[in-house]
């Protein structure tokens, strides 16, 4: 049997937060349903942040309540603090991702806290979630783990310190985010090894951007280090409003093509995934859409993992 790699689609959150216009809620719900119908196992559908800061996320509670009705898909929401976590729980989210910027500059710009203060906030979130009757997973996301457009170089020791703090806070998992897309494959390997040495298998995923054109190369480096969970965005949407210069996420369509071609099973139907771009384009007609596989077309040589070649 093929080894499984989990792909989490973050377009409805990370992708839309940088869009120049706001996707209508009904269109967003249809888009998310189409992504789920393509077999994507996890979808980050929004973030519980003040609408005045990111108006594109104002309908997140409504979207979560709608999305959790979709069968066979884990619904994820970003929650930067305890109040956001409580709102996500009330809406029915299966998992929350709580960001902790490793770099001081991004942490203050994004959350108005130091990294240490945000780790303490994560501990409060975990304690509250564990006291609730319904289970909700908590992921600690180490933002700017591979470089920062405000502070520049981010030392590996700082990433390990934040990741270790998150593990001590009791999160279910830790992810490493190349928030601004400055990382390179050797760096990905070095940081993954260092963090895994500190916190073990609690390190699960990578969130990669393609600013320097190295997104898929970095994903491959992560694969080689044993990472089996990746965030990506349909059509390569995305960026961070508090990280100048950050461009879109790695393209989900291209990532799935690479993984399946290499023999990793994602459970995703690539044709259905590409078809979901039509809903995205209808909801945001002025937004540029990226991706080499959708542009070139799925080649006849493509045989998804687990299916025999003709």
Could you tell me which CATH class the domain 6-296 is placed in? alpha beta
Output the pLDDT for position 308.
Answer: 45
Does 240 qualify as catalytic in the annotation?
yes
Work out the average pLDDT over 123-144.
Answer: 98
- Give the pLDDT confidence score for residue 157 in this predicted structure: 98
Question: pLDDT averaged over the chain?
Answer: 94
Helix (H, G, I), strand (E, B) or coil at 60: helix
**Each residue of 285-302: pLDDT tens digit?**
988 899 999 999 999 999
What sign does the CA torsion over 135, 47, 150, 238 have? positive
Which residue among 8, 142, 148, 240 is the active-site one?
240
pLDDT reported for residue 46: 97
Give the Cα separation of 56 and 74 in Å (integer): 21
- Distance in angstroms (rounded) separating the CA atoms of residues 102 and 237: 23
Nearest CA to 174 among 155, 148, 192, 151? 192
The residues, ordered by sequence, that sit 6+ positions from 161 with a Cβ below 8 Å of its Cβ are none
Give the whole-angstrom CA distance, residue 290 versus residue 271.
16
**Three-state DSSP class for 253?**
helix
Q: Report in angstroms the alpha-carbon separations of 19 from 143, 201, 289.
A: 20, 35, 11
56-83 burial, b if ≥16 CB within 10 A, otherwise e?
bbbbbbebbebbeebeebbbbbbbbbbe
pLDDT digits (tens, 9 = 90+) for 217-275: 999 999 999 999 999 999 999 866 655 555 689 999 999 999 999 999 999 999 999 99
Q: What is the pLDDT of residues 144-178, one digit of tens each?
A: 999 998 899 999 999 999 999 999 999 999 999 99
Looking only at Cα atoms, what is the longest distance across the chain? 56
Q: What percent of the chain has pLDDT over 70?
A: 95
């Amino acid at each position: 049997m093929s080894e499984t790699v989990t792909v989490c689609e973050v377009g409805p959150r990370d992708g839309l937060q940088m869009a120049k216009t706001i996707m209508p809620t009904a269109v967003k719900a249809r888009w998310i349903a189409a992504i789920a119908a393509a077999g994507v196992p996890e979808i980050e559908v929004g973030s519980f942040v003040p609408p005045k800061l990111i108006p594109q996320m104002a309908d997140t509670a409504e979207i979560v309540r709608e999305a959790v009705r979709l069968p066979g898909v884990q619904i994820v929401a970003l929650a930067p603090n305890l109040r956001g976590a409580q709102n996500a729980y009330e809406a029915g989210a299966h998992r929350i991702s709580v960001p902790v910027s490793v770099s001081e500059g991004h942490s203050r710009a994004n959350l108005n806290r130091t990294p240490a203060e945000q780790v303490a906030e994560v501990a409060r979130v975990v304690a509250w979630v564990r006291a609730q009757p319904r289970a909700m997973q908590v992921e600690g996301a180490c933002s700017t783990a591979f470089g920062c457009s405000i502070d520049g170089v981010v030392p590996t020791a700082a990433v390990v310190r934040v990741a270790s703090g998150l593990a001590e806070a009791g999160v279910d998992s830790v992810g490493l985010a190349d928030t601004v897309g400055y990382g390179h494959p050797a760096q990905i390997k070095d940081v993954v090894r260092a963090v895994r040495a500190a916190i073990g298998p609690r390190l699960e995923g990578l969130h990669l951007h393609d600013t320097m054109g190295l997104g898929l190369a970095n994903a491959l480096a992560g694969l080689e280090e044993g990472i089996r969970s990746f965030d990506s965005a349909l059509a390569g949407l995305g960026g961070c409003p508090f990280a100048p210069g950050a461009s879109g996420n790695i393209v989900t369509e291209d990532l799935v093509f690479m993984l399946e071609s290499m023999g990793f099973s994602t459970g995703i139907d690539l044709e259905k995934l590409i078809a979901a771009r039509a809903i995205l384009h209808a909801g945001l007609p002025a937004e540029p859409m990226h991706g080499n596989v959708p542009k070139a077309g799925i080649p006849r040589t493509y045989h998804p993992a687990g299916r025999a070649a003709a």
